[in-house]
Amino acid sequence: MKLVHVVGARPNFMKVAPVLRAGQSIAGLIQVLVHTGQHYDPAMSDSFFQDLGLPAPDENLGVGSGSHAEQTARIMLAFEPVLDRHSPDWVVVYGDVNSTVACALVAVKKGIRIAHVEAGLRSRDRGMPEEINRILTDQLADLLLTPSRDGNDNLAAEGIPPARVRMVGNVMVDTLLRLRSVAAKRGMPERLGVKGADYAFVTLHRPSNVDDRDTLSELLGALEDLGSRMPVLFAVHPRTRRRIDEFGLTAPNGPVRLLDPLGYLETVNLVDGAALVLTDSGGLQEETTVLGVPCLTARPSTERPVTITEGTNRLVASRRVDINAAVTELLARRAGGSFQPGRPEGWDGHAGERVISALLESRTTVTATT
């Protein structure tokens, strides 16, 4: 059996790594890694391959940036010859980026079966491009591999036959648990002078937060206020840095330190030691849940509600006053000892193995039941 794994952006890299590792020991299983190049900045891509111990991609499409339509179209045009060269049994797509839906569309048109890892997540906010990608990919996929039980429920409500759905758990958590001790050796808190102190770690990159001047100004103001309570380490996405400059905003300074994009291990090391995380990232919602770190997500909705009901996450409006109030409440709960997070089912470090098992078991069952 031959699998073509498709990745395109940083979150995909953490998800594919445990699946590739799990498949290495399976006799007769051929795996091909395709990187679409959706994240084309080496600071945002190459270092992650190194940190995760991923092999060099067998195919690198190098599509680069562009509007959603341009990028999706370029990925489709570049991916079709890849399928002609490799003739896989399955195309395995990950997450919810443009590469995910683009390659699924090409595969289904060519009659090649599709497995979607991280299926069934829903924010119910169609203003998020990722939500559209999730919905369309799940409708195209032959095998839908969910990270949590709410994913199964969402797919059932959308009429997906249960025979096509498997709850495998969270593959990103596999990578986190495997590399947590390695990340600790990076010594980032020491290098940044915050070892032994409470500090906040921040990432902000979503268009809804950084492409609107007023919203970005509110968030930067909230970081200034947070900096009066504790040191703030702000890993600044290139998009966010461009918008700060374009809008003529003043970046916070002093106790708010602006960092260049970080590698995966450096990020995990800093998140693991943080008193709190402020983010709009989907992946950090999951990682803070596993690490037991309080997380404030500056978004009106999340496709990962299990991080709220069972983990450390809570949603907060992207306004200065709301973030200040949420920080005050969170720190009070933490100081009072009432902060007691859990860990969702299947977030145990073995999801990659379950993905491979589901693919092997579905060689005949998926065809028979669809």
Cα(209)–Cα(285) distance, integer angstroms: 16
Sheet holding 30-35, edge to edge: 59-60, 30-35, 2-7, 90-94, 113-117, 143-146, 165-167
In the DSSP assignment, the letter for residue 348 is S
Residues forming a β-bridge with 4: 32, 91
Q: What is the torsional sign of CA 146, 147, 152, 154? A: negative
5 catalytic? Reply is no
Helix (H) or strand (E) holding 232: strand 232-235
Catalytic residue among 68, 205, 237, 350: 205
Give the 3-state secondary structure percentages of the chain, helix then strand then coil, rounded to 5. 50, 15, 35
Is there a contact between 333 and 296 (Cβ–Cβ < 8 Å)? no
Per the structure block, which two tokens stand in for 272? 């693991």
| Tokens coding 147 | 């990270």
Give the H/E segment covering residue 209. Answer: helix 207-210
| DSSP conformation class of 118 | T
Are the CB atoms for 140 and 105 separated by under 8 Å?
A: yes
Q: Do residues 285 and 304 lie in contact, with contact meaning Cβ atoms separated by under 8 Å?
A: yes
Helix (H) or strand (E) holding 227: helix 213-227
Positions marked catalytic = 205
